Amino acid sequence: MTDSVLIEGLEVEAVIGVYDWERQISQRLLLDLDMAWDNRRPAASDNVADALDYAAVCERVTAWFAAHQPQLLETAAEAIAADLMGHFGMPWLRLVIRKPGVVPQARSVGIVLERGQRP
């Protein structure tokens, strides 16, 4: 199986950063998630209950940032990956977190991580 569910450009507001000024403001983050999911069952049933609920994934990520204020993107990415994989039971995910406009010479900075085993 090589199916996945894709969420691209999820915008969240977060208090994140290592500098004092960053701890006083909310910054916009952009997330991309590619999550392994067997799409044969929802395709056959045409029932949303069999699909990976991408709205619920988005809500869970947004809620995580509302409840936590990490200093590093790496900390956020590890925690979010573990939370999503545990809650939704996906065997693999690829997560990109971008922090736009932080470095004047770059459109964004960020990290990419992959966790689990892609089936």
pLDDT for position 118: 87
Spans of all domains in the chain: 4-116
Q: Choosing from 25, 99, 116, 118, which is the catalytic residue?
A: 99
pTM of the model: 0.93
Task: Identify the architecture of domain 4-116 in CATH.
Answer: 2-Layer Sandwich (3.30)
Asked if 45 is an active-site residue, the reply is no
pLDDT in single tens digits along all 119 residues of the chain? 689 999 999 999 999 999 999 999 999 999 999 999 999 999 999 999 999 999 999 999 999 999 999 999 999 999 999 999 999 999 999 999 999 998 999 999 999 999 999 88
Long-range contact set of residues 48-51: C-beta below 8 Å, sequence gap at least 24: 51/5
Parallel, antiparallel, or unpaired: how do β-strands 92-100 and 27-36 relate? antiparallel
